[in-house]
């Protein structure tokens, strides 16, 4: 599928922002006053900035508010509801820390749970899609939540937690890639099943459904070369997982911590690009592609 920059920015930054809100809601780090204010500004800038970036992928951004009405059946709508609830609850929690030096522990815990729920609902937008076998796996929500918590731990300065969560996320990332490479073939979806003509005999395309480029080819049948894919995977894993761990194991300095955060964000952005670029939509079968 075509990796839209707005969606890559959204999934990368919002996951990081809500991950930081999780740790702040748990009281880690134990900050108050202006220090807490700075942490919450960073968390809200990432979370809200990511959510706003996602609207640029909509044909009519001014209608985004309508997505909230379908929460009974739509994971996209549930994501919006959870995101707004998390931001409002964490706003109350932040006000207590910043202005009154009071930690409302129950409110913070609720906000942390809502932040995790937001990342989960985001992941389920993709994990529910039978039409994209690479995404339809419990590994998708597990990976996105692990990355969010690991990135949040980095920003929150929770080194011990980050040294556990980043390797866990790295293992999940490798498992997700390995499983995804064979997902389309294992799904059993072919041109015969897609057209429903398999009972007649062997099905093959006589000619393409369209004589020129169209929306489906541009958005859903995007292909990335295997050689480039492996190279980008190496970059994503090296920057997003391996380098931050090595930097955290070195004697602590604020410069190394900053580099670890930057490397992690860059690596996750690369993995997000691959998340979409490597996804094979079944509609490609009608064009003789995957």
Give the three-state DSSP class for 288: coil
Give 12-64 pLDDT, tens digit per residue: 999 999 999 999 999 999 999 999 999 999 999 999 999 888 777 666 666 66
- The interaxial angle of helices 139-155 and 5-25, nearest 10 deg, is 60
Give 76-86 pLDDT, tens digit per residue: 999 999 999 99
- Rounded to two decimals, the pTM is 0.93
Distance from C-alpha of 85 to C-alpha of 21, rounded to nearest angstrom: 13
CATH architecture of 5-287: Up-down Bundle (1.20)
- The total of other beta-carbon atoms located within 10 Å of residue 149's CB is 27
Lowest-pLDDT range of 6-20, 116-130, 219-233: 219-233
Task: Give me the pLDDT at residue 144, please.
Answer: 98
Task: Give me the pLDDT at residue 2, please.
Answer: 78
Domain layout of the chain by residue ranges: 5-287
Task: Give me the pLDDT at residue 164, please.
Answer: 98
Distance from C-alpha of 152 to C-alpha of 166, rounded to nearest angstrom: 10
Task: Give me the pLDDT at residue 62, please.
Answer: 66
Lowest-pLDDT range of 48-52, 119-123, 126-130, 139-143: 48-52
Q: What is the DSSP string of 224-276?
A: --HHHHHHHHHHHHIIIIIHHHHHHHSPP-HHHHHHHHHHHHHHHHHHHHHHH
Percent of the chain predicted with pLDDT > 70: 94
pLDDT at 179 over 80: yes
Mean pLDDT value across residues 214-218: 72
Task: Give me the pLDDT at residue 128, please.
Answer: 97
**What length does the chain have?**
290
User: In the predicted model, what is the mean pLDDT of the chain?
Assistant: 91
Q: Dihedral sign, CA of 250, 253, 259, 260? A: positive
CB neighbours of 15 closer than 8 A, spacing ≥ 6?
50, 119, 122, 144, 147, 148, 151, 268
The end-to-end CA distance of the chain, in Å, is 10
* Cβ atoms 159, 28 nearer than 8 A: no
pLDDT at 195 over 80: no
Give the residue with greater pLDDT, 70 vs 278.
278
């Amino acid at each position: 599928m075509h990796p839209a920059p707005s969606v890559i920015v959204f999934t990368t930054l919002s996951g990081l922002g809500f991950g930081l809100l999780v740790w702040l809601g748990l009281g880690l780090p134990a900050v108050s006053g202006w220090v807490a204010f700075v942490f919450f500004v960073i968390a809200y800038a990432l979370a809200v900035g990511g959510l706003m970036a996602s609207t640029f992928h909509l044909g009519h951004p001014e209608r985004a508010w309508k997505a909230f009405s379908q929460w009974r059946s739509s994971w996209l709508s549930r994501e919006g509801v959870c995101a707004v609830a998390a931001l409002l609850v964490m706003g109350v929690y932040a006000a207590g820390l910043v202005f009154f030096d009071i930690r409302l522990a129950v409110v913070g815990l609720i906000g942390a749970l809502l932040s995790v729920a937001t990342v989960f609902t985001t992941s389920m937008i993709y994990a529910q899609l039978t039409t994209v076998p690479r995404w339809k796996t419990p590994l998708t929500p597990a990976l996105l939540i692990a990355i969010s918590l690991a990135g949040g731990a980095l920003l929150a300065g929770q080194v011990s937690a980050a040294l556990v969560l980043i390797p866990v996320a790295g293992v999940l990332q490798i498992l997700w890639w390995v499983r995804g490479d064979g997902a389309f073939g294992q799904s059993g979806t072919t041109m015969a099943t897609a057209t429903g003509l398999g009972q007649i005999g062997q099905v093959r395309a006589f000619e393409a459904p369209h004589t020129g480029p169209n929306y489906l080819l541009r958005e859903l049948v995007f292909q990335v070369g295997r050689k480039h894919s492996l190279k980008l995977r190496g970059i994503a894993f090296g920057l997003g997982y391996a380098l931050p761990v090595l930097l955290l194991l070195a004697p602590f300095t604020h410069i190394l911590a900053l580099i670890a955060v930057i490397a992690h964000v860059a690596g996750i952005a690369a993995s997000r690009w691959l998340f979409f670029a490597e996804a094979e939509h079944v509609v490609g079968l009608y064009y003789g592609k995957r």
